[in-house]
Amino acid sequence: MSNPEKRPLRVLCVDDNELMADALRRRFDQESALAWEGTVTQGSLAYDRILEVRPDIVLMDIDMPNVDTFTIVERLYCEVPEIRVLMFSGHVSPKDIDRALDCGAWGYLSKNDDVTKLIDAITRAGRGELVFSYEVDAVRGNR
């Protein structure tokens, strides 16, 4: 994903917690490098909506009701690999991290980490880095 014109990274959020999504949208307004492309609150609509919007980054809450988000990520990775999905969760377990990596996610961010670090991680994923927030790295035993 080259970004020669320095256009903002387009981020779509998939999260059933509207409080979270709205707060993220407000915070993203302060970041000129990030553009908010909206929120999908129903997991069943996520795949179609992502294909429609074609964002650079998808911030995907792992625990969405009624869908297996890892399956959505796997499908996206096979069909539109240029869309980078970052798993986003309040629960960090080694099993979920491995599953996320193996199904095609570009990183795993914890909802418990510093906001500035989250934003930095999203930006780095846009540059082609695999990103893990601090808590995730700690669980992986990397720090």
Copy the structure tokens of residue 12.
Answer: 């779509």
φ, ψ of residue 3 in degrees (nearest 5): -135, 60
Which region, judged by CB under 8 A, interacts with other proteins, from 5-13, 15-23, 36-44, 65-73?
A: 15-23
Q: What is the DSSP letter of 78?
A: H
Which region, judged by CB under 8 A, interacts with other proteins, from 5-13, 34-42, 50-58, 88-96?
A: 88-96
Amino acid at 45: L
Q: Compute the least distance from the CB of residue 69 to other proteins, in Å.
A: 15
Which region, judged by CB under 8 A, interacts with other proteins, from 41-49, 51-59, 68-76, 84-92?
A: 84-92
- H or E element that contains 71: helix 69-79
Copy the structure tokens of residue 127.
Answer: 């540059």
CB 75 within 8 A of CB 88: no
Where on the chain is the footprint of other proteins (CB under 8 A)? Answer: 17, 19-20, 22-24, 26-27, 29-30, 77, 81, 90-95, 97-99, 101-102, 104, 106, 111-112, 115, 128-130, 132, 135, 137-143
